[in-house]
Amino acid sequence: MALTNNKNVLAWVDEMVALTKPDKVVWIDGSKEQLDALTEEVTSLPEGNRDKMYKLNPEKLPGCLYHRTLPNDVARVEDRTFICTKKKEDAGPTNNWMAPDEMKAKLVPLYDGVMKGRTMYVIPYSMGPIGSPLAKVGVELTDSIYVVLNMNIMTRMGKQAFENLGDVSNDFVRGLHSKADVDPENRYIVQFPEENTIWSINSAYGGNVLLGKKCFALRIASFQGKNEGWMAEHMLILGVQKPSGETVYITAAFPSACGKTNLAMLIPPEGYQKAGYKVFTVGDDIAWMKPGKDGRLYAINPENGFFGVAPGTNEKSNPNALACTKSGTIFTNVALNNADNTVWWEKLDKNPPVDATEWKGAKVNGPEFIAEVDEKTGKNKTLAHPNSRFTAPAENCPCISPEFNNPAGVPISAIIFGGRRASTTPLVYQSFDWTHGTYMGSAVSSETTAAATGAVGVLRHDPMAMKPFIGYNVGDYWAHWLEMGEKLGDKAPKIFNVNWFKTDDEGNFLWPGFGDNMRVLDWIIKRCEGTVDAVETPIGYEPKAEDINVDGLVYEGKQFTSDDIADLLKLDMDKWESEITEMRRYYDEDIKAKGGNIPAALYEQLDKLEDRIKKAAK
């Protein structure tokens, strides 16, 4: 039975039913009974059915499920992701583009009758706390129970989302997803920002199919934000509670699989804990930000769960994330420990299961399997896929912020950019002002990871960590950043850049990272409060080495010293000259020549930076 009288919703669902021709339409109310029944149905499917999910050990992992996707369907597919605006220049140089009519002409035949013999689920959901002025409603139509169960964790799903929408509003995002044949040749992830519409077909994986996440909360929402005066960003949101009891909120934009979940759930080093510091998580992937009545920038996390990278998550690196996954969690493409029907992934612990099922579904002897070298990669085989993920409810998080459901959001003091850079970029530096900070964001590059298909470890430009997620012209997006800065004036957050990933010649990380990143946050907070000074360098303000606290910091068996910090802050001007040459090439050739309207203020920043670097290099 339809759960709403909203005519816009009803008309659109009818239209999509007529197109996809499901045997049955089920409206998802979000009730426990309904979700339990769907869980029974999907876990009772026969072995080999590609929708199948598995129940895990009810004592050790209560309410947890397991699923594996096809080997060619394990990550976002940026080459098959499109922004379909009427005019090509509105999609800009960072997006694949096709005219909406042309794209629909291509996709309608693929969707025609695609749900015959299957059930269509109608999922109403809210991105953001129900009732928040910053929240928005979406409806996803899908033929996948896996999607329904994931959306239940990742969003506020169910009929209350319709109550928020009311009977007449047309302000909801229309998402249509079908697994279809999971045919990679016909896989499309398509956004129509001018129509608040998303069409996804032939994938069953994460960011391609949980349409509230990257498709809505970043691609469509960034476009809405530009038109409505707010920002949708690929950022975690955390709160640092200080010994005084006051909490300072920070957002950070790092590219996919570059440490957002880890930083968001950071456990401070012992010395900080003793002094009374605590970190709270508001979000681990996406921030929606808007100026509040007091003129400061406020952020909400539109999501309700964490779709986190499993490999590397362990009791030491991120105990809070691990705790999140102990109940009510869906695991995708990790390995199974058949001895006790639990899950395993690389670096969970040092004991890979002997009786294991690797992520593709083969039964193997774990230790022997990972001792083998993969012919394709030349690296050791892994039991879990490098981009295997957990979908865990935010309420499971031991450090979830008391402000998580606050409809007004939290006021942001600092914005951090970062990426994986083996060299060049120092541990931390601060922009001179918002405009320079916007330039810094536009200049983010990072080594690619397994979160998207394609080569791993290749340095690429990823402005604001939003390269795959800006739903319009990147030049206009930068202009929007500058406008927001003007609007916020002296209440704007301070902007920083960090790099946790500098390596030595052998590729070992020079900075311990994880909980010790608190030491860098400490400096950032002090800069926001004006309680520590800094060194002015050609690229921005850097800490004095002695202002990064290294008390109790032992790394690789050695006490970390201020000299080690100085090494991480040292600027190699030859490298920065190459960096600036590459930035100019990027602006000129990759953006401007391809239709990106780069704001003059950013070219000015580039000119000034080049001047400062040239002077310093002499």
Least distance (Å) from ligand SPV to the CB of residue 425?
20
Q: How far is CA 581 from each of CA 445, 587, 606, 611, rounded to the nearest angstrom?
A: 14, 10, 10, 12
The least CB distance from residue 286 to Mn ion, in Å, is: 7
| 514 counts as binding ligand GTP under rule CB under 6 A | yes
Residue numbers 441-470 binding ligand GTP by CB under 6 A = 451
Q: How far apart are CA 363 and CA 381, in angstroms?
A: 14
Alpha-carbon distance values, 314 to 65, 104, 499 (Å): 19, 44, 22
Supply φ then ψ for residue 155, to 5 degrees.
Answer: -130, 170
Euclidean distance between CA atoms 607 and 601, whole angstroms: 10
Q: In 461-593, which residue ranges form alpha helices assigned H by DSSP? A: 474-488, 518-529, 562-569, 573-585
Q: Are 556 and 404 in contact (CB under 8 A)?
A: no
Per-residue x/- marks for Mn ion, 244-263, CB under 5 A?
A: ------------x-------
How many CA atoms does the CB half-sphere of 601 hold within 13 Å? 19
How big is the site for ligand SPV, counted in residues (CB under 6 A)? 9
Q: Based on the shown chain and the rule CB under 5 A, indicate whether residue 564 belongs to the binding site for Mn ion.
A: no
Based on the shown chain and the rule CB under 6 A, indicate whether residue 451 belongs to the binding site for ligand SPV.
yes
The structure tokens listed for 600 are: 């003059």
User: Cβ closer to ligand SPV: 403 or 462?
Assistant: 462
d(CA 94, CA 423): 25
d(CA 582, CA 589): 10
Interface pattern 274-293 for ligand GTP (x via CB under 6 A)? ----------xx--------
Catalytic, out of 64, 84, 215, 258: 258
Decide whether 76 or 527 has the Cβ nearer to ligand GTP: 76
Q: Which stretch binds ligand SPV (CB under 6 A): 29-37, 61-69, 206-214, 426-434?
A: 206-214
Confirm if 595 and 88 have CB atoms less than 8 A apart: yes
207, interface contact from ligand GTP, ligand SPV, Mn ion, none, CB < 5-8 Å by kind: ligand SPV
Q: How far apart are alpha carbons 381 and 304 in whole angstroms?
A: 33
d(CA 422, CA 510): 9
Rule CB under 6 A: choose which of 288, 307, 511, 523 binds ligand SPV.
Answer: 307
CB of 180 to ligand SPV, least distance (A): 19
Q: How far apart are CA 91 and CA 405, in angstroms?
A: 33
| CA–centroid distance for 278 within its chain | 23
Of the two residues 136 and 527, which places its CB atom closer to ligand SPV in the complex?
136
298 touches 292 (CB < 8 A): yes
Residue number, 193 or 311, with CB nearest to ligand GTP: 311
Only segment of 32-40, 207-215, 428-436, 537-545 that touches ligand SPV (CB under 6 A): 207-215
Give yes or no for residue 312 binding ligand GTP (CB under 6 A).
yes
Amino acid, single-letter form, for residue 349? D
Residues with Cβ within 8 Å of residue 247, at least 6 apart in sequence? 239, 240, 241, 280, 410
By rule CB under 6 A, what string of x and - marks binding of each residue 214-233 to ligand SPV? x-------------------
Residue range at the interface with ligand SPV (CB under 6 A); choices 105-113, 117-125, 205-213, 414-422: 205-213
Using CB under 6 A, which of 172, 500, 523, 560 touches ligand GTP? 500
From residue 464, alpha-carbon distances to 123, 444, 474, 475 in Å are: 31, 6, 10, 12
Instruction: Using the minimum distance from each CB to ligand GTP, give the nearer residue, 404 or 501.
Output: 501
Decide: is 207 part of the binding site for ligand SPV (CB under 6 A).
yes
Q: Using CB under 6 A as the criterion, what x/- string covers residues 269-288 for binding ligand SPV?
A: ----------------x---
The count of residues in the chain is 618
For 203, residues 6+ apart whose C-beta sits below 8 A from its C-beta are: 73, 77, 179, 182, 187, 189, 209
499 is in the binding site of which of Mn ion, ligand SPV, ligand GTP, none (Cβ under 5 to 8 A by kind)?
A: none
Query: If binding is defined by CB under 6 A, does position 80 make contact with ligand SPV?
Result: no
Of residues 125 through 164, those in contact with ligand GTP by CB under 6 A are none
22 forms part of the interface with ligand SPV (CB under 6 A)? no
Query: CB of 100: closest distance to Mn ion in angstroms?
Result: 26
End-to-end CA distance of the chain: 74
Look at residue 241 and give its three-state secondary structure: strand
Question: Please, which residue, 91 or 324, has the CB nearer to ligand GTP?
Answer: 324
Asked if 76 interacts with ligand SPV (CB under 6 A), we say yes
Q: How far apart are CA 410 and CA 282, in angstroms?
A: 9
Minimum distance of ligand GTP from residue 257's CB (angstroms): 4
- By CB under 6 A, name the one of 174, 213, 219, 527 that touches ligand SPV: 213
**259 binds ligand GTP per the rule CB under 6 A:** yes
Judged by CB under 5 A, does residue 285 bind Mn ion?
A: yes
- Does 302 contact ligand GTP by CB under 6 A? no
- Minimum Å gap between C-beta 206 and ligand SPV is 4
Q: Which stretch binds Mn ion (CB under 5 A): 263-271, 279-287, 424-432, 485-493?
A: 279-287
Active site residue 528: no
Which residue's CB is nearer to ligand SPV, number 189 or number 571?
A: 189
Distances (CA, A) of 279 to 252, 272, 502, 581: 14, 10, 24, 39
Of 317, 334, 350, 448, the closest CA to residue 391 belongs to: 334
Query: Which residues make up the interface to ligand GTP (CB under 6 A)?
Result: 254, 256-262, 284-285, 308-309, 311-312, 317, 451, 500-501, 509, 513-514, 517
Tell me which residues are annotated as active site.
258
Query: Which residues make up the interface to Mn ion (CB under 5 A)?
Result: 256, 285
Query: Which residues make up the interface to ligand SPV (CB under 6 A)?
Result: 76, 206-207, 213-214, 256, 285, 307, 451
